[in-house]
Structure 1
Amino acid sequence: MTEVDLDDIGARLVGRFGADAEGWLAGVPALAERLASRWDFALGELFDSGASSVVLRCRWSDGTPAVLKLSPDGPLLTKQLEMLRVFAPSGRVPAVLAADADAGAMVLEEIQPGTEAEHLPSSTLPAQWGDLLAALHSVAPPEGWPWSLRGRFEESFDRIGRRITEPAISARVGPATWRRAIERCERLLDTQADVVLLHGDLHLGNVLDGGPRGLIAIDPKACVGDPCFDAVDYVVGGAGREGVEARCQVVATACGLDGDRLYAWSRVIAPMFAISHLTYGGPEEALDEFLALAS
């Protein structure tokens, strides 16, 4: 890793975990070398690290392309491992090749070609999404699975809702809009009928082209709830393009979902998309559509 890489990753890790992450990051090169020796893989370059981990390409001893994921948050990594393993029978998540939760480390197969779903042909993506959901949702929730869609939304509304007091956010997304989203969400949660084990965070950046295997989902936040939820981020991504309503109709048909409920879920998460848009930027027409959905 270069010094620039370390600085960039360090800023993101400190933003999430605090100043102690700097000391942990300083030990990452030595930790990676120890694990490479222990598990017999060759280390490669830095690969798409997020806000909670450092990810390095590597090559397993039999030649399998893989990624080494390291995190200062051992419990978080343990939870990620549990969720990957519960979805393993679907064949639609990366295989876990090795793991040591105490070290905050796991090695996963690298998905190839690995193109993110948002860059795949829009004409074939709805049917592929339907196949992915059918595979993921065929996995029975383990008995006593502790995470639910209701709990997921309670956390999201609490965490994201703190931001509506920020001037740039409150000018476009006010308390009334936020309350309306919560009320809509509660109505949908109260009327859930057939619930499944959801991926829970199935946006277009968390779905990769796995070649002959079809679409592969990464970073699951598995929870039990309405199957429509695993299509809603894809649907809302139609804002500023063909439009959310038009995409909803296509996706609902391709995935065998209730189109009215799917559209209703899009109105729940629209203000969250608007807040993200106001934070990170993007086409104004998409923001306008998010706000119209949230109204």
Structure 2
Amino acid sequence: MVFAPPQRLVKALGETAPDGDGWLERLPDTLRQAVALRELTVDRIQVPGGRSSLVVLVRRADGTPAVLKLAPPRFRPEAERAALVHWDGLGAVQPLDGPETAGALLLERLHPDVSVRSLPEAKALLEAAGTLRRLWVEPPAGRVFETVAERTGRQAEAMRSTAVGSEVAAAGLVDAALAAREELVGTAPEVRLLHGTFRQSKVLAAERSPWLAVGPDPVVGECAFDLARLVRDRVEDLIGSPSGAATTRRRVRKLAESLELDAERVRGWTLFRAVESGVRALRVGRPRDAELLLEFAGWL
């Protein structure tokens, strides 16, 4: 099997790989072993694919289409497996039976090239929000997922160290984002299992349901946290629009209302997560992405 990982994955992993990490170099052997162990036939590599995992369209021994997903340990594939098992196909892609090996997931095949992002914006947001609501369930007993407070606490420390002496700190966005986080984590109204990285491209067309979520980075906490990434979907279009700021604030209100959440909490988490993403983009050398995200955050 001739194999070359998608360049999007290679670039993204290169930005975040710790020193000495050899996951990408081992990936061809890892893929061959995972395919052989499960008696799979490879149809094709999904391109451009994701930024944290390799997605391979495969067929099982009986001809059933499936997806093989391989991810480095730092992207918590075992937590993803546990969340998908707990959801058991309700609102999310269904994990399939077979050998379990670290970092490898065998999943039902959806329509990988058709996401809700293909719909007009208003319809896309409506369908995405409806899918997300189905995922917000009680966390499984006995399984410890990372909490929103833990994850954002790590991110807050990284934000502080990156922003010292930068224009971001001068603009006050980091301070505002950190202050919003402090207030939000101390007053969370509910504890649910969350998708963790939900956006339009994470909702794919399916056979057994119109739309199903994929690619969670699960976390436990309040539902408003899960909406924050969805609010800034199509951020390039928002920034390019003369009504981008008004559209963003209206989107916060509409999504909060549709899911019966506090709009101010949605706004606060959207601010924190946009600033965190912008500062992280600065840290890894993506100034254009940082500029877009921080301009968006300034509207909130």
Same fold by TM-score, threshold 0.5 exceeded? yes
Per the TM alignment, residue 176 of structure 1 is displaced from its structure 2 partner at its CA by 4.2
Structure 1 residues 285 and 69, CA gap change in structure 2 (3 angstroms): closer
Matches within 5 A, 1:195-210: 195-210=191-206
Per the TM alignment, residue 251 of structure 1 is displaced from its structure 2 partner at its CA by 1.4
The answer for the alignment partner of 1:76 in structure 2 is: 76
The answer for the alignment partner of 1:186 in structure 2 is: 182
The answer for the alignment partner of 1:254 in structure 2 is: 258
Matches within 5 A, 1:235-254: 235-237=231-233, 239-240=238-239, 241=241, 242=244, 243-254=247-258
The answer for the alignment partner of 2:130 in structure 1 is: 131
Long gaps (5+) in structure 1: none
> Which range moves more in the overlay, 145-154 or 277-286?
277-286
> Which range moves more in the overlay, 44-53 or 190-199?
44-53
Partner AA of 1:73 in structure 2: P
Partner AA of 1:143 in structure 2: A
Q: What is the RMSD of the two structures over their aligned residues, measured on CA atoms?
A: 3.3
The answer for the alignment partner of 1:227 in structure 2 is: 223
1:291 aligns with 2:298: yes
The answer for the alignment partner of 2:35 in structure 1 is: 36
Long gaps (5+) in structure 2: none
Q: Distance in 1 between matches of 2:160 and 2:98?
A: 38
1:95 aligns with 2:95: yes
Instruction: Check whether the contact 1:111–1:210 (CA below 8 A) recurs between aligned residues.
Output: yes
Partner residue of 1:141 out of 124, 139, 142:
139
The answer for the alignment partner of 1:66 in structure 2 is: 66
Structure 1 residues 59 and 196, CA gap change in structure 2 (3 angstroms): same
Partner AA of 1:106 in structure 2: L
Per the TM alignment, residue 255 of structure 1 is displaced from its structure 2 partner at its CA by 2.1
Alpha-carbon deviations, 1:236-256, whole Å to 9, x = none? Answer: 336435421111122122222
| Alignment coverage as a number of residue pairs | 286
Structure 1 residues 221 and 284, CA gap change in structure 2 (3 angstroms): closer
Instruction: Check whether the contact 1:126–1:255 (CA below 8 A) recurs between aligned residues.
Output: no
Per the TM alignment, residue 58 of structure 1 is displaced from its structure 2 partner at its CA by 0.9
Q: Distance in 1 between matches of 2:198 and 2:149?
A: 16
Structure 1 residues 228 and 76, CA gap change in structure 2 (3 angstroms): closer
Structure 1 residues 31 and 274, CA gap change in structure 2 (3 angstroms): closer
Structure 1 residues 130 and 198, CA gap change in structure 2 (3 angstroms): same
Q: Distance in 2 between matches of 1:211 and 1:121?
A: 21
TM-score (norm 2): 0.79
Question: Secondary structure of the equivalent of 2:88?
Answer: helix
1:216 aligns with 2:203: no
Instruction: Check whether the contact 1:208–1:215 (CA below 8 A) recurs between aligned residues.
Output: yes
1:272 aligns with 2:276: yes
Q: Distance in 2 between matches of 1:162 and 1:74?
A: 21
Alpha-carbon deviations, 1:169-204, whole Å to 9, x = none? Answer: x22444843232122112122222233221122133
Per the TM alignment, residue 44 of structure 1 is displaced from its structure 2 partner at its CA by 2.6
Question: Secondary structure of the equivalent of 1:155?
Answer: helix
Structure 1 residues 41 and 204, CA gap change in structure 2 (3 angstroms): same
Structure 1 residues 59 and 80, CA gap change in structure 2 (3 angstroms): same
Per the TM alignment, residue 111 of structure 1 is displaced from its structure 2 partner at its CA by 1.8
Question: Secondary structure of the equivalent of 2:212?
Answer: strand
Q: Distance in 1 between matches of 2:96 and 2:74?
A: 16
Per the TM alignment, residue 130 of structure 1 is displaced from its structure 2 partner at its CA by 3.1
Q: Distance in 2 between matches of 1:73 and 1:128?
A: 31
Structure 1 residues 164 and 118, CA gap change in structure 2 (3 angstroms): farther
